[in-house]
Amino acid sequence: MSLTLYNTMSRSKELFQPIDEQRVTMYVCGPTVYNRVHIGNARPAVVFDTLYRLLQKLYPNVQYARNITDIDDKIMQTASELGEDISTLSTRYAEAYFDDMAALNNLSPTIIPYATQHIPEMIDMVSRLIDKGHAYAVDNGVTGEQGHVLFAVQSMEHYGQLSQRLLDDMLPGARVEVASYKHYAGDFVLWKPSANNEPGWDSPWGRGRPGWHLECSAMIEKHLGESIDIHGGGQDLIFPHHENEIAQSCCAHDGKPFANVWMHNGFINIEGEKMSKSLGNFRMVNDLLEQYPGEVLRYVILSAHYRSEQNFGKDLLDSAWRSLDTLYSFLRAQGDVTATDVDITDSDAYRALLDDLNTPVAISELHKLAREMNAAQGGARSEAKGRLLAVAELLGLLQQDAEQWFTLARGGSDISAEQIEMLIAKRNQAKADKDYAGADAVREELKAMGVVLEDSREGTQWRRE
RNA sequence: GGCGCCGUAGCAAAGUGGUAAUGCAGUGGACUGCAACUCCGCGAUCGUCGGUUCGAUUCCGACCGGCGCCUCCA
């Protein structure tokens, strides 16, 4: 059984063949930490976390790196507005990012490299690019322009391969004004000068800071090697970010392949609209987490294929929550049935994931497995439960205690479990006395507080809704 | 101007050259003191129009509609 992945470079699904089966390498572009992250940042984290889980099943050693960009103009601007040091700001938001990602049940990557901890490596790469004739330092005597080092895209034979665009086809300055010191409009910054009041590091070209794309190339080279198996990120990064990473790395390594598989997740929209500053419709992960369990967000993200566009909305989140309720209620009904270890490599869900990470199908299998578990008798229950939980673990779902899933607070009333149990006892007494009106009154009372009662032979169970 | 994506039941979302998984919602029934949970059952011919084919939702073309990117937004 083999893994197939869609490669943006070839625009087709390809059989995944690692460079070294004993050490599979994956790099995913992480956040620039100047604010809390929005739900759009969560998607690649969840998608590639799922791929990471799958790869770990297939290979003994998977090196998964996801960076933290902690030097950037947006960070500098926000830090200066708040009157604090960039490292204070970036540390705070990096921590917040880790919290948010953990809430979505993402595993921690193997390596979390920080841009500011790799300045020497970046400077070294720039020097090599200049030496090889792929980059040039601006030296035109104009104040403010000196100290820039630019990558010369025309020096690279196949520049534009990933995004499938030719230099001539691009509208120069379509969105950003072309700086006068560029030899060519498409050239991009490797190093730029910092003013005295700006953060900066000494370099052969003066005090300055790295350009946006450089960190990823330098950190990949250091931690994963010159050629890696998988490189992922959001679709918007295809151009220019990943295109330029390729340019830097390939040229620094004399044309050696950079990443064999390029994977890009689609965008998340909010109620049909792109998240944007002008619309003011950014949905921050931590805000959503106040209304929904992280697992609901994860379920929503995995319920659509990673390459398609996804529209986040209240209906979708509520629907996902109810779906998880159904799954957890099956698990709850199993009580303390022990889950046995089951090999799931022959399951439809596993096959679906091997097919370019088809998580929607895997989730549909989750529902089928839950029903099978529900129908199972005797010893078959343990196996069915084991199968369900093993598949769910690959998706990072259903790992919580089912009892807690239903009884932990859900943002409704704050009635305590003890109070609820008291009312249930009161209702049971009423039922024993055939005082059904009284019993129903208690049910209604609890219902009004978001607590639903479920009677069964074993007694009364409750859950918050 | 260039590159690319999408249009499947009320909503969400897979998928296949031979009449379409799954979830949520809805609905009929069983169960229940009443409910809830659960169980059994019910719903779409796949944007439009052509073409290829014995046969297309699936391949090709056109059109309509929605959308992304083109130098620092996941």
pLDDT in tens, A347-374: 999 999 999 999 999 999 999 999 999 9
Mean pLDDT of A437-442: 93
User: Is the ipTM above a cut-off of 0.85?
Assistant: yes
Proximity of residue A322 CB to strand B below 7 A: yes
pLDDT at A395: 97
Proximity of residue A232 CB to strand B below 7 A: no
Select from A286, A360, A351 the least CA-distant residue to A320.
A360
Q: A82: which residues sit within 8 A by CB, 6+ positions away? A: A89
pLDDT at A294 over 60: yes
Proximity of residue A238 CB to strand B below 7 A: yes
pLDDT bin (cut points 50, 70, 90) of residue A168 is low
Beta strand A24-28 with A228-234 is: parallel
Peptide bond preceding A240 in cis form (omega within 30 of 0): yes
Is the torsion defined by CA of A76, A81, A85, A88 positive or negative?
Answer: negative
Question: For A173-182, A201-210, A250-259, which range has the lowest pLDDT when averaged over its residues?
Answer: A173-182
Do A31 and A21 contact (CB within 8 A), yes or no? no
Select from A150, A124, A135, A143 the least CA-distant residue to A204.
A124
A window 249-278: Cβ near strand B (< 7 A)? 265, 267-268, 274-275
pLDDT at A274: 81
Domain ranges (residues) in chain A: 4-265, 270-406, 409-464
pLDDT at A185: 83
A window 403-432: Cβ near strand B (< 7 A)? 431
Strand nucleotide closest to residue A239 (CA to C1'): B69
pLDDT at A44 over 50: yes
pLDDT at A170: 59
pLDDT bin (cut points 50, 70, 90) of residue A335 is confident
- Identify the residue whose Cα has the smallest distance to the C1' of B67: A309
**Cα distance between residue A457 and residue A446, in whole Å:** 21
CATH number of A270-406: 1.10.730.10
Q: How far is the CA of A281 from the C1' of B46 (A)?
A: 33
Proximity of residue A330 CB to strand B below 7 A: yes
**Cα distance between residue A147 and residue A144, in whole Å:** 8
Proximity of residue A452 CB to strand B below 7 A: yes
pLDDT bin (cut points 50, 70, 90) of residue A454 is very high
Class of domain A4-265: alpha beta
Mean pLDDT of A110-119: 96
Q: How far is the CA of A365 from the C1' of B28 (A)?
A: 27
